[in-house]
Amino acid sequence: MTAKIESLDEKDGAATVAGRWAFLALLAGNISLSVGALFVRLADTGPTASAFWRMAIALPFLLALAWRESGGRMPPRNAIVVAGAAGIFFALDLVAWHIGILQTKVANATLFGNCASLLLVIWGIFLARRWPRGWQALAILLAFAGSALLMGQSYELSPAYLVGDLLSLLAGVLYTAYVILMQRVRGTLEPWTALAISSVVCVPILLGTAMGLGETIMPQNWTPLILLALTSQLIGQGLMTWSLPRFSPLVIGLTLLVQPAVAALAGWLAFGELLGPLDIFGGMMVGAALVLIRLPNRRAAPI
């Protein structure tokens, strides 16, 4: 009996450690994704063309990783269809978001692009068929209040950002569909395989859209595009895709709000977009929400 108890304790300890690493991976993926807006602004191609290069540069590496991961075996057909559908939503998300980035502030584009956080919380409530309580409810309140503070002042002072904000909002809706589909398919496919399939679908859609919009396709300076592919697609989406099946929609949604906080800091450092006391306080509120959502007493069925 003692041996069984010790074995269970060891398993619980291992699961706790694995959960901590997975949560760190989820945070790191969001932080890496949040700097992508800077590289889109710095790229000398059109906005949709930069999204195409993000996918195209990363694709050979994703295919190689997927081949190694799967041993060269063909994934199930149903899983390919779901991952491909996720790729369509992701491509449309990138079109809307990359165009929106150039018509609003970095922090605004990232915040509205991450309205997926709210939509995922709503999705989680729908699946669980219950309202969040306790720490979950407080974490949600802090996260969204903090995010509102991060962009509230700048938006009120800059109504010219409206088109960019709306495009970023559309991107967030599309990204929600992408995350839901990828979380579903990760029950069947390993992370690199799922990401490679969705990326393959993205590439022709993005290239065709960029050409249709008459954008500049070929860059003179490859550095921003290479960094965009590395930070956003390989590291950011790679860590996100690996983490998806390990967390509830509530946790995934709230961690998405790391992106506007980091983007606000990056916009201040790179473009001089001023951070005031309310912006800083808003970022602290988002951080507090992430601490609350990971407290040990979260044993109630997660949303």
Model confidence over 76-103: pLDDT tens digits? 999 999 999 999 999 999 999 888 877 8
Q: Write the CB contacts of 229 (distance below 8 Å, at least 6 apart in sequence).
A: 53, 54, 55, 56, 57, 58
Cα separation, 188 vs 186, in Å, equals 5
% the chain with pLDDT above 70: 76
Cα separation, 220 vs 255, in Å, equals 35
Q: Write the CB contacts of 42 (distance below 8 Å, at least 6 apart in sequence).
A: 224
SS3 32: helix
What token pair was written down for 59?
A: 């694709």
Is residue 285 within 8 Å of residue 142, measured between CB atoms?
A: yes
pLDDT digits (tens, 9 = 90+) for 242-267: 998 888 777 887 787 777 677 667 66
pTM of the predicted model as reported, rounded to 2 decimal places: 0.79
What token pair was written down for 83?
A: 């991952």
Cα separation, 172 vs 183, in Å, equals 16
Highest mean pLDDT among 18-27, 184-193, 259-268: 184-193
DSSP 215: -
Is residue 273 within 8 Å of residue 267, measured between CB atoms?
A: yes
Question: Does the pLDDT of residue 207 top 90, yes or no?
Answer: yes
C-alpha pair distances (Å), 183 with each of 69, 85, 242: 18, 12, 9
The whole-number pLDDT of residue 222 equals 96
Nearest residue to 211 via CA among 41, 102, 51 = 51
Least confident of 10-14, 158-162, 163-167, 237-241: 10-14
Which conformational region is residue 272 in: left (phi greater than 0), alpha (psi within -120 to 50 degrees), or beta?
left
Cα separation, 142 vs 289, in Å, equals 6
Cα separation, 232 vs 269, in Å, equals 19
The whole-number pLDDT of residue 303 equals 46
Nearest residue to 215 via CA among 13, 48, 17, 16 = 48
Give the mean pLDDT of 146-165. Answer: 67
Is residue 132 within 8 Å of residue 250, measured between CB atoms?
A: yes
Q: Give the angle 222-231-112 at the CA atoms, nearest 5°.
A: 105
Cα separation, 128 vs 6, in Å, equals 33
Structure-model confidence comparison of residues 223 and 259, the more confident one: 223
Least confident of 147-151, 169-173, 222-226, 245-249: 147-151
